[in-house]
Amino acid sequence: MKLTANDYEPKYVFKILREWTNLTQEELAKELNMSKFGLKKYENGENRFYYETILKICKKHNITITFEKQ
């Protein structure tokens, strides 16, 4: 699967990545050492997340991040 992140708001990118891991919000929150409520705020766009958070998810679940200049 391929995702062009520029086509989505950050909250949707985060949710899509979680879905690709096949984890529930509760499971991913535990993996990230945070509350389910905190993770839900990422997915609702109420809180910003750091690149390090995305990188941690991607590394653990074999998801590749690619940047491309056009």
Domain locations in the chain as residue ranges: 9-60
**Would you state the pLDDT for residue 39?**
93
The pLDDT confidence band at residue 41, using thresholds 50, 70 and 90, is very high
How far CA 45 is from CA of 38, 51, 60, 62, 67, in Å, comes to: 11, 15, 23, 25, 23
Instruction: Specify the amino acid at residue 6.
Output: N
Report pLDDT for 16: 93
Please, which pLDDT band fits residue 1 given cuts at 50, 70 and 90?
A: confident
Q: Which residue has the tokens 């993770």?
A: 39
**Is residue 46 very low, low, confident or very high in pLDDT (cuts 50, 70, 90)?**
very high
Q: Does domain 9-60 have CATH number 3.40.50.300?
A: no
Which pLDDT band holds residue 37 (cuts at 50, 70, 90)? very high
